[in-house]
Structure formats: structure tokens, C-alpha cells
A and B are shown apart, each in its own frame.
Chain A
Amino acid sequence: MKKIFALLALAVLPLTAMAHGPSPQKVDKSVTIKAEPAQVWAMVKDFGNMHKWHPNVASTKVEKKGDDTLRTLTLKSGGTSKEKLRDADDQSMKMRYEIVEGSLPVADFNAFMTVKPGPNAGETTVQWVARFYRVYKLNPPIPEGQDDESALKAATELVDAGLEGLKKTLESK
């Protein structure tokens, strides 16, 4: 009898093996740029001009809603991303923002970018950290394109391309 139960348990296991609520996903990337920190920070905190340095962004539209500053990015891939500035602190050279809505396959996306002196004089290190969940918040089965992998891929592409674009733009100045 015990053996039968063990067999039954084994048979049931694969069905539930992937079952869990979503875990937050993380992207944490840094780049060193040959430019002064103040110059880099000026570009990073300029919330309405992301298209000037991000290769995936076609245009940026800024709007004020009460105390909130929002931007809508039109992506070269076709979609949009509506984002809210949470704060940009000149002292610590750190800016925080979140995605309000948009076409990227992520949920509850919030991120920060920090600008710090780099390893050598005249260099700057920019760090971009994002936290987010997959789109599908419930338990499996997870619809295609709404899983952890899709969310992680989209956010990684956004950050990688952005840091590369920031470096390119500032170093060609």
C-alpha cells in the first residue's frame, strides 16, 4: 500500500513541479564611461530626452500630472513605455523611475540609475538596477510571453542597449 502511495506521489509531482507565485526578477548592470560624472549625470537625469542616448527609443514625450513627471517612450520596435519619475537627486546622483504601463512584457517594473566616479580620473561608472515581475501574476500554466524568461530578456535588452548607448553618446561628444 505504501508503495502505491509513493508511486502516486511520483506521478503527481511533475504536474505541480513548476507551480509557484512569481519571484521578483533583477537586472543589475554597470558601465564605465570616459566622461566626467557631472556630464554623465546631466544626461541620465534628463528625463525627457532618453531618445538622445538610448538606441531602442525613437522619441520621448514628457508630461506633468500634478506633482508627477511622466514620460512616454516610443520604442523603435513599435511599442510604448509610460514611465514615472520617482526622484532624481543631484547630491547622490541617483534617479529612480517606474513603468506605469506599456508594451514591455514586465510588471511592477521599478529601477534606479546611479552615477559615480569611475576607476580612473575622468571616468564615470553608471549602474542601472531594475526590479520587476513577469506579466502573468498567477500560478501556472503561464501564457507564452508572460513568463519570467520573457520579462528578464526584455529588461536585460533595455538596460544593456541603454548603457551601451549612453557610453557611445557621451564618449563621442
Chain B
Amino acid sequence: MNSKNLIAGCFIALLTLSRPGLANDYAYITNQGSHDVSVIDLGSNKVIATIAVGKGPVGVSVSAAIQRVFVSNVESQSISVIDSASNVMLDEIQLSGSPVAVAISPNGDTLYVADWYQDSVIAISTQDSKQQRKVSIGKAPAGLAISPDGKTLYVSNRDSDDIGVIDTASMTVTSRIPVGAHPFGISISPDGQHLYAVNVHEDSVSVIGLATGETHKIQVGTRPYCAAISPDSKTVFVTNTQDDSVSVIDAASRKLITTIETGGFPEGIDFDKVSQRVYVASWSDDAVTVIDASTHKIVDTIKTGQQSRAFGRFILNGQD
């Protein structure tokens, strides 16, 4: 590298380090094997706290509105509640079934939990966790996604190969949309137009037009798991667990742009709009791979706890 390039490189490095806005941008990574959550400061890409939670944590959902992080503990059948201002665990909500995905409503009032033991979705008041409503759904509900207006909740029924659509006001199932085999992670584009459901046993992603009902399938890598969508809704990133890669898809054309090699067994994935980076939990490396969303290059690898999964929306931007 010549000196001009070196100076330019340092300048770019400084630019990326000094993030706009204030601190309190964090990624909350659930570690299934060490029963804790690694809190990554997105400014420095360093783990600044490790919070012990229940046993076998998998699902995660963050809320800037109420400064809370919710984590599903599959093996202790509970939800851990973390205060994102202090990164301290506040509460553990015991459930009778077994939670997988958790999703918080946009206003922070309601936490939705997919219970794959009792084939139901539970709505829990974040003010009073004893206030719960429940609706029966398909077999082995796994992933959850909520519409930007908070009115509609989508759930992937892993063993019924469909998506349940729930009206959140009445907590009733209004329809079920067939997708591919074994849907797991689901995500809604920030513009609220499309739902992406990852079909694990079919190496594909189903795209559902939420206004039109039109569905398409996009082939991705082997045993895909989860999807994250860029803030402009134009690009979709999908983890391929058995290829150790992320497929990058152009949303408009539904065509593959590129495939990025990541850490081993990538699972949870989320997009940090402040740094324009994609964070990927690597289950077999006990780490998080950080990808630059425009260059598609890996810019960092961060060691976390054991068997990182981070299933859900795990990036919290303080200024939201």
C-alpha cells in the first residue's frame, strides 16, 4: 500500500469509527451453549457486556421505545427481560410451553411469543406480564414478524409449511399462507410491502406481496435460516447455515446479487442502518461476522459466547 492509500484508508477507518448519532447502538446476541447474551457495542464492535439469562437462549427482540430486550430461553421455558439502558437483566417471565421467536410491537406495549410446544402464539403485556392472550396456530410455530403499523403479526408454522396471519387487536388468525418446506426465519421489509419466509428444507425464500397476496420463490444456499432486509427495502440478506454463507438478493428483480462467505453455520442476521453493516451470528464459530452492506466484504469478526444464534431482530439503535 502506498502512503496516499494508507492515509485514505485511515481516513475511511476514522469515518466508520466515528458514527453519527449517539452511543447506545447495540447488538444482543443469544448464546445457546453458554446461556447468556453478548452485548456488542456497534461503535467499537466490541463485546461490552455478557448477561446471564435462562437456559438455551435462542430468540431475541429489541425495543428502543421502551428500552428493553426480550430473549426466549428454550430450555428453561422462559423469557428474560433486559434493560438496554443499563444492560442488566430485570425479570424472567416463566411460560408453560417453550418459546422460540419473540417479537415486540412497534410501540413496545406487547411482546409476542411463538410457543412451539403448545402450537400457539402468546401476546404478553410489557407493563404487566401476567396479562396474556393466546391464539392457537399451525404446527411448531417458530419465526415471528410484525407489520410496521403493529396491526398484523405473521408466524411461520415450521411443520405445517405455512405462514399464519394474526390480527393483533383481536388475537385471531385471519388467514394462512402456504409457503415452502419448513419455514423458519421470517422478516417484513421496512416499507411493509413484502414478507420473506426462509424455507429451510427447500433451500429457498418465499416472497409474499402483503397487499397483493402474490408469492414467489427465490433459490438460495443450503439449509437457509433467517433473512434481514436493508432499511430501503431493496436488498435481502439470507443466512445459509450449511454453506457458511449469506445470499444477497435484489428485492426488485428477486435475483441473486452475490454470495458472501461467513463464519460457520450462520443463523441470526440483522441490519444496522447507522453503519450500513450486516451482523451475522455464527453458531459453530461462537462469533459474529460483520459485513459491509455495500461492498459485501467482511469487515470484522467478533468473538461471542457459545453457539450464537440471535434469532430475531437483535440490533438496537438508540436514536430510534
Contact = CB atoms under 8 A, between A and B. Distances in A.
Interface residues on B, range: 20 to 34
Contact of B58 (A23, A28, A98): A23
B75 A20 contact: yes
Given A16-B77, A19-B117, A21-B140, A26 B97 contact: no
A76 interface: no
Nearest to B100: A21
B242 A110 contact: yes
Interface in A1-40: 12-13, 16-17, 19-21, 23-24, 26, 28
Contacts of B98: 19-21, 139
B283 A139 contact: no
Interface residues of A, number: 19
Interface string B189-205: 00000000000000000
A19 B265 CA distance: 26
B32 A23 contact: yes
B306 to A, nearest CB: 8
Contact of A23 (B75, B77, B97, B264): B75
A16 B32 CA distance: 20
A86 B222 CA distance: 10
Interface in B279-303: 283-284
Interface string A115-141: 000000000000001010000000100
A24 B311 CA distance: 14
Contacts of A98: 242
B284 A26 contact: yes
- Kindly name the residue among A23, A98, A112 whose own CB sees the greatest number of chain B CB atoms within 10 A: A23
Contacts of A20: 56, 74-75, 77, 98, 117
B184 to A, nearest CB: 12
Interface string B69-108: 0000011010000000000000000001110100000000
B116 interface: yes
A110 B97 CA distance: 29
Contacts of A13: 96
A107 to B, nearest CB: 13
Contact of B265 (A12, A86, A131): A131
Contact of A86 (B58, B75, B96, B242): B242
B284 A19 contact: no
Contacts of B231: none
B173 to A, nearest CB: 21
Contacts of B75: 20, 23
Interface of A: 12-13, 16-17, 19-21, 23-24, 26, 28, 86, 96, 98, 110, 112, 129, 131, 139
Interface of B: 32-33, 56, 58, 74-75, 77, 96-98, 100, 116-117, 140, 222, 242, 264-265, 283-284, 307
Given A26-B307, A86-B222, A139-B98, 13 more contacts: A12-B96, A16-B96, A20-B56, A20-B74, A20-B75, A21-B116, A24-B283, A26-B283, A26-B284, A28-B284, A86-B242, A112-B284, A129-B264
27 contacts: A16-B96, A16-B97, A16-B117, A17-B77, A19-B77, A19-B97, A20-B74, A20-B117, A21-B100, A21-B116, A21-B117, A21-B140, A23-B58, A23-B75, A24-B283, A26-B283, A26-B284, A28-B284, A86-B242, A96-B242, A98-B242, A110-B242, A112-B264, A129-B284, A131-B265, A131-B283, A139-B117
